[in-house]
Amino acid sequence: MSILCIQRTLARGWLYGFISGIGIATADAVYGSIAGLGLTAISDFLLHCTFWFRLIGGFFLLYLGVKTIFKQITDAIEKEPAGGHIRAMLTTFLLTLTNPTTILSFAAIFAGLGAGFDQENRWGALIVIPGVFLGSLLWWALLTSGISFFRQRLKQRRLFWINRVAGIVLSGFGIAVLVSLFL
């Protein structure tokens, strides 16, 4: 997700990259809520459907990578399309949700903090969940700000090649996800 967010910041600017990060942070908060509030039925369903989520996510990453690789040099620095901010947030939100094993990471974090939603500590999860969202949001704000700072100092030709490399990396991750499903 970092590569995608960096690529979007380079191609379309800080706001577009940051809004992409908001989508990722929101998905992290959703999975954090499921793990922290002990919503085992939802968690079990998502983990049961991991194959399908990863299959969709792998193909989506591959699509984004190939699309990025074949952008024309004049398109390396793009204008923000109409409705693009909502689309940016939704695509990163949905792509992040295609990795339901993230719930296991959050469950481990909540267990380690003793912040699961149980009778003894029912408010622990309700405090940690916004922290997950805000911490993730802070990370994306810092990352996109740093990338945006360097973006202004890069020439269009160099941005084009950075965009192409990002597309290859995204495609590689998509292929790796798809191959891992059948190994």
Higher-confidence residue: 19 or 173? 19
Task: Look at the block and give the residue holding tokens 């941005």.
Answer: 159
Mean pLDDT of the chain: 81
Looking at residue 26, its pLDDT comes to: 95
pTM of the model: 0.73
Reported as a single tens digit per residue, the pLDDT across 30-61 is 888 887 777 666 767 777 888 888 898 889 88
Higher-confidence residue: 82 or 146? 146
Give the integer Cα–Cα distance in Å for 75 and 12.
10
Give the integer Cα–Cα distance in Å for 103 and 106.
5
Give the integer Cα–Cα distance in Å for 23 and 16.
11
Q: Can you give 76-137 as a three-state secondary structure string?
A: CCCCCCCCHHHHHHHHHHHHHHCCCCHHHHHHHHHHHHCCCCCCCCCCHHHHHHHHHHHHHH
Q: Given CA atoms 162, 164, 165, 167 in this order, what sign does their dihedral have?
A: positive
Residue 100 is encoded by which pair of tokens? 């339901």
Asked if pLDDT for residue 25 goes beyond 70, the answer is yes
Question: 165-168 long-range contacts, Cβ below 8 Å, gap at least 24?
Answer: 166/3, 166/4, 166/6, 166/7, 166/10, 166/68, 167/7, 167/64, 167/65, 167/66, 167/67, 167/68, 167/69, 167/70, 167/71, 168/65, 168/69
Give the integer Cα–Cα distance in Å for 80 and 86.
11
- Average pLDDT of span 168-178: 90
Reported as a single tens digit per residue, the pLDDT across 100-135 is 667 777 777 666 665 555 545 556 667 778 888 999
Task: Look at the block and give the residue holding tokens 């193909």.
Answer: 59
